[in-house]
Structure 1
Amino acid sequence: SNKENSKALVDTINDLKDSLEKQSTTVENYRKEMELMRKQLEAKDEVNRMLANEISNLRLQLEDSRKHRFGRT
């Protein structure tokens, strides 16, 4: 009957709405996770830059001390 068809349609629509809400929540959670990972990567990049800078400075100091040592002889 028409009434049963209408009820079935309403149920289907409600199920779809529930499903969409769950998916939206899932997508939002993934978005937050990705944002956190992006921040972690930025922090790691910053640490890598600092370490590269430190290594570069140590290399320069080492070359400098070698020059002084050999320069005196």
Structure 2
Amino acid sequence: MTGEQVISVDQDGAIQRCHFVGQIIGNIYQADFQQALISRLCPRSRCYCHIGYVHRPELALYQVFQGGILERNPGKL
């Protein structure tokens, strides 16, 4: 979901799909920044991010963490 529903933003507002992929896809200070939020294939062969793995749809971790996705706080199973 990175680059589409989940993004990394630096102090200048530059948007990257994640902090391991350096390509800038937009800037949150531009009025039309949401147009940059589209589904795209990741250029990396593997995800090494201890933060971003939770956003991989095939792992279904949103169901595990429910409302505590940012904190990695599991909901009631």
Larger radius of gyration: 1
Which one has more relative contact order, counting CA pairs under 8 Å at least 6 apart? Answer: 2
TM-score, with structure 1 as normaliser: 0.17
TM-score, with structure 2 as normaliser: 0.16
Greater strand proportion: 2
Greater helix proportion: 1
